[in-house]
Chains A and B, each alone.
Chain A
């Protein structure tokens, strides 16, 4: 049996069209590969996951338009230049002139 070939181009094309996508949406767009396969494909791109809610949405780093704080929001889904929430908070605190409170 021939091994199915899942194309990175289809993944990129989907994200360029829709800007963001959930894991399931990306899976369908690529041709319904296994979870691990899609993770491998995502790892080969410059994909970013949403920094909260366990990274439910993905986008490409080249698509995101980060603000001065390194954050980008699209349809209430937020992405960070620094990756996950912990790294984002750490970077924000490190770069802030006066630190931050949680309120």
Chain B
């Protein structure tokens, strides 16, 4: 039963091998003349300021959650747009219900102040 998955295993092995091989070869054969600039983390050519792991407000979590919610809504819209005519009125009612539920959620968040930053 698992036979069809053997190629995936082979692929995985090849990928790991190639990665290790390339890194090892370039380390062994390549010339190494480090300078301060070369050792700096790459930041589009700018001088990096501060550590990469910055603290950010926890409120961002809510915004991110809302974004995912509406992102998913859009994903559902695309297939619906394609078969919109075939589904007819029942489809419109079903999708309408879906949107109303999402909108109610948004009204709730709005009124509870989830969208105000301070």
Task: Judge: A and B partners, yes or no.
Answer: no
